[in-house]
Each structure stands twice: as C-alpha cells, then as structure tokens.
Amino acid sequence: MRIKKRFQVENNPPVVSAREKGMALVIVIMVLAFLQVTGLVLLTVTGTGPRVAGNIRVQQQAYNSAEAGFDIAWTTIEESFADGSWVRFDGHYLTEIVGIDDPQSDNYFRKLTDQELLDLIDPDGDGTANVGYLIYFREPYVQTGGTYDLRYTYVAFLIDDEAAGGTPDPSDALLVCIGISGTGSIVTTSRIEIELAIQLPGS
C-alpha cells in the first residue's frame, strides 16, 4: 500500500535579492542607450545625405562656370587674333598683382586659393576688378527669363608661364578660368588652367 504524501504549495513568490533587481535595471539602461545611439546615427546619416548631394551639385555648377569661362575666353582670344587686334600674348598677361606669375612669390597664383585670387583682383569687394589685363571678371553666362543669373559667373585671365625664368615666349600663355557659383560671401569656386599656344609666322 502506497502512502501518499501531500506537499503544501506555497503561494508566496520567490524572494528576489536587491542585487538581482539592480542588474535588471542596468540591462534596461544599456538597451535604451544602444537604441538611442542607433537612432541618432540613423538621423545623422539621413540628414547628411541631402547636404552632401547639395554640395556636389554646387561644386559641379562652379566647374561648369569655369568651363563656360574657358570656352568664351578662348573664342574671344581667337577672334582677337583673327581680326589682328592681338598678334601675340605679351601685353595681355595679368601682371598688376606683384608676384602673380612668380613661383617664388607668396602672391603666385598657384599658391593662392580661388577666393584669395578674387580678393587680390577685387580688394574692395564691389564686384569690379581693380586690375587691368583681365579677359573677363565676374561675367554671367546663364540666362533665365531674358536676364543673366548673377549666381553663375567666371573670371578669366592670362599668366606668362615664362615670367619666372627661361626664354620669353610671347606665342604661349596660361589661360586661368575661375568658375563661381553663388553670390555675396557664400560662393563655391572651381579653377581650370590650360596652356595656349599660337603658331607665329615663320616658326
């Protein structure tokens, strides 16, 4: 004969120590902190995408301005040679800024940013060049509604590439074009430098 033992069931929950409660709180805080950091990273990534795309677009507009400046300046130079008003490049170089064509000078054009070059050409910032021998300065080229859009302009000038030494050669020059996108103090720039050469009679 089997004897059945009865066990008394306790309705009281097991006792949880204070240490276990503290660990659960730490885990919850860590999970919340992780979710917060993940959320901030996602917000940053989604927020910077449009800004990066905007910066690339503005930089491309500045480069397009520089290319337009080159095309128009080159056409102007060709016409000047064709009609006889130019017979060589000397006399048309930008020389009024001391050291602009001297690699040893602090004012050498390749040592300067585009904005520094623009500030030397137009030191008072009134939109008018204070030096001569520029082909174009802040020339707009995009028309919208019959008027030129002043947000897109270019600057073009010639540099004597033998000015710092070597045999002077008036049949060649360096054409520098700076494309500008924007107005006022907030502008983006891009620069193109292309060497030009002409075939002189008898050479």
> Does some domain include residue 179?
yes
CB under 8 Å to 119, separation ≥6 — which residues? 125
Decide if 69 contacts 178 (C-beta within 8 A).
yes
Stretches where the chain sits below pLDDT 50 are: none
Sign of the dihedral through C-alpha 110, 113, 118, 119: negative
Indicate whether 53 belongs to any domain. yes
Residue 166 included in any domain: yes
Domain limits at 144?
40-197
Residue indicated by tokens 């060589």? 88
| pLDDT reported for residue 15 | 59
* Confidence (pLDDT) at 69: 94
Please report whether residue 13 resides in a domain. no
Is 202 within the bounds of a domain? Answer: no
Nearest Cα to Cα of residue 178 among 120, 130, 124? 120
For the stretch 134-191, pLDDT in tens is 999 999 998 888 899 998 999 999 999 887 777 888 888 999 999 999 877 788 999 9
Task: With respect to residue 54, please indicate whether it lies within any of the assigned structural domains.
Answer: yes
User: Domain for residue 170, yes or no?
Assistant: yes
Domain assignment present for 28: no
Mean pLDDT over each residue of the chain, to the nearest integer: 84
For the chain, the domain total comes to 1
Strands 134-140 and 152-159, sheet pairing: antiparallel
